Amino acid sequence: MSTTPIAQEKTAVVLGTATPGGGFPVYGDAVVEIVNAADPSLVLQPKNTKGSTENVPMLEAEQLDIALVQGEVIHEAFSGIGRPPSKLRIIAAMYSSPGMYVVRADSPYRSIGDLKGKPVAFGAKGSGLVILARYVLEGIGLDQDKDFQAIYLEKAGDGPAMVADGRAAALWGAGLGWPGFATVAKATGGARFIAPSADEARRILAKHNCLRPLTIPAGSYPGQNEAIASIGSWSFILARPTLPDDVAYRIARALHRNEAALGVRLAQARETTAANTAAAAPRKDLIHPGVLRYLREIGLAQ
């Protein structure tokens, strides 16, 4: 892959994100801005992809240096579900991704069950959000394709307009500050959010122990006056197996020395902290050795 010197002192690093209109490109742009400003020896370059499910094989094929990957895709890759266990490594925890549906405020839908048989936009074809939705629905005995008129988008940004004009009853998404949710709320004069009920959450967690309870704080989206309890996982920045230790170290150092600036640049990136990377990684050995070096320096790893 790249990570090649530019003008003898700069190292180019290609960062894979996702389709335009979703949360990953927005987050990727913020990371690129902060890291490039903090370390002049690095030149991070964002690249739109189809999303998490494409980012993993592209990293393994060394077509990307680092990439944004959603939690369920990471779980399947590291666990070797349907494939050999991946040798990719963690650069940083991005943010938690509680999943939920958004519907028009004037719609009659108030529960996941109300959406059965209805057209639902589950996200871009390559997005990890599609897999998170599948896990959530499997946990309550529903099938994404059989129990709903499932819509898979070419671009994440296509979903909000489908809810606004009635082509879709609901849009599935996840995370704080997710662009699709904000767009629906603004475009339709208000929105309602649907997450698993307490009983549904218990059933989902019993079936999929890679998921965890997460909360969307009140005021995260226009018209959302109360906190919403949901289910989800952490997304991570992953690296190709051959990313040099020194490059991973420099990325981690630039990112975490400037956590406050990143959080100001993008609200959901406030969760991108060295402490969260150390705590959220499924296993310590999955963290890139270069990142572990930095975590040891600041007292977060041994």
The model's pLDDT over 12-24, given as tens digits with 9 standing for 90+, comes to 999 999 999 889 9
- Is the predicted pLDDT of residue 5 greater than 60, yes or no? no
What are 119-165's pLDDT values in tens digits? 999 998 888 999 999 999 999 999 999 999 999 999 888 999 999 99
Taking 60 as the threshold, does the pLDDT of residue 90 lie above it?
yes
Quick one: average pLDDT of 184-189?
81
The superfamily (CATH) of domain 97-232 is Periplasmic binding protein-like II (3.40.190.10)
pLDDT > 60? residue 7: no
Outline which parts of the chain fall under CATH 3.40.190.10: 5-95+234-297, 97-232
At residue 186, the pLDDT reads: 86
What does pLDDT average to over the chain? 94
| CATH of region 5-95+234-297, choose from 3.40.190.10, 3.40.630.40, 3.50.50.60, 3.10.129.10 | 3.40.190.10
66: part of which helix (H) or strand (E)?
strand 66-69
pLDDT tens string 173-186: 998 889 999 999 88
Q: What is the dihedral of CA 88, 175, 127, 274, to 10 degrees?
A: -10
pTM more than 0.75: yes
